[in-house]
Amino acid sequence: MERENQFIGQSGAFLDAVERASRAAPMARPVLVIGERGTGKELIAERLHRLSDRWEEPLVTMNCAALPETLIEAELFGHEQGAFTGATRAREGRFEEADRGTLFLDELGTLSMGAQERLLRAVEYGEVTRIGASRPTRVDVRIVAATNEDLPRRAEEGTFRADLLDRLSFEVITLPPLRVREGDIPVLADYFGRRMAAELGWEEWPGFASHVADAMEQHQWPGNVRELRNVVERAVYRWDNWDNPIGEVVFDPFDSPWKPLASPPAESAATTEVAPGQPMQRPQIDKVDDLRAAVDAHEKAIVEHALGANRWNQRQTAKALGLTYDQLRHTMKKHDIGQSK
C-alpha cells in the first residue's frame, strides 16, 4: 500500500465518499469498497483502519488476484507442517496476522467458491482453521474488501456467494471515477506535477500550457488517478524547457510510429491492410455543425501538439509539419498560439 499517496480533491462526489469512510471507520463492521482501477480503494481501506480503534494494530493487505487459486486458502488461513507438498513448517495465515487489526482483501471478486465458503465462516464465526489442522483458531479481525466488479450481479449469476456478500456489505463505499470528479483533474495534475518537479530539482514550477490542461480535462482517464499521476510525471520529466509551461503530454506511452502491428486474421488480412500514410484513426465528424470552426479547431490542435513535441522550437515544428517558418508563424497568430499559453 502506497502510504505516500494522499487524498487530493475537492469535488462533491469525492468528498462524499471520503466522509462516508470517516463515519464508518469507528464501526467494527465489514466495509466493501467498490471502484474502478486507480480510484484509490486502498487509500480508503487505510483510512478506515487509521481512524478506527484498531489503528495501533496490524493492517494486513492481501491481493486476492495476485495468487494462484491453489495458494489463496493457505495464504488466508495458514497451514500446518506437512499439510501439502512444500509445507515444510507451520505458517500463520493473513487472518492470524491481522488479529485485533484490519484485513484488507483487494480484488475480492477473484476468490474461488471454496475460498469464499471458508471466508464466510471466518467472518460469521470469527474462527479460522489452518489447512491440515483439526481445531479452529479464534481471531478478531475487521474485514475491508475491495473490488471493481458488480458483485450483486455476480451473486445473481451464482458466481459469487450471496450470503458472503450480505456479510461483507454492512457499509458499501463506491468511489467516483476521475472523469466525473468536477474540478479535481487540474488540482491533481498540479499536485503531481509540483512533486515531480521538486524531485527533479527544478527551482520553479512552470505549470501546464493551456492546450495541455485542456487535453487533460477532456481525457476520459480509464486508469483514473493512477493513470493521471503517470501521465503528469512522465510529461514533467520529459520536459527540458523549464522556463516555459509544459507543452506536451503523452497519454499512451505505447503509442509510437514504430510499435509492432498485430497480425490480422488470415481471412481478413487483405481488407485490414492500411496504406502508407493513411491515418489509423479519423477525427470525430458525426456531430460537426460548423465546418469552418471544426477545421480551425483541428488545425490548432495539430499545431499545438507539434509545438509541444518539438519543445516549442518553431523552425523544427515548421519542418515537421511541412510548412515554412513564415507559414507556421501565420498559423500561430491566426489561432492565438504562444509559449505563454
Residue-wise pLDDT tens digits, 224-278: 999 999 999 999 999 988 889 999 999 999 987 777 877 665 544 333 343 433 3
* Cβ-based neighbours of 228, under 8 Å, separated by 6 or more: 178, 185, 188, 189, 192, 216, 221
Per-residue confidence band for 78, with pLDDT thresholds at 50, 70 and 90: confident
If one compares 221 and 290, the residue with the highest pLDDT of the two is 221
Mean pLDDT of 300-316: 82
Mean pLDDT of 283-293: 70
CA–CA dist 146, 159 (Å, integer)? 17
147: β partners: 34
What confidence score (pLDDT) does residue 286 get? 63
CATH number of the 12-176 domain:
3.40.50.300
Sequence ranges of the chain with CATH classification 3.40.50.300 = 12-176
Sequence ranges of the chain with CATH classification 1.10.8.60 = 181-256+283-334
Q: Which DSSP symbol is given to 339?
A: T
Which residue's C-alpha cell is 515544428?
317
Which of 3.30.70.940, 3.20.20.70, 1.10.8.60, 3.30.460.20 would CATH assign to domain 181-256+283-334? 1.10.8.60
32 has pLDDT over 50:
yes
The reply to whether the predicted model has a pTM over 0.75 is no
CA–CA dist 263, 23 (Å, integer)? 53
CA angle 149, 46, 44 (to 5 degrees): 45
Q: What is the overall mean pLDDT for the chain?
A: 86
Q: Out of 72-76, 78-82, 214-218, which region has the weakest mean confidence (pLDDT)? A: 78-82
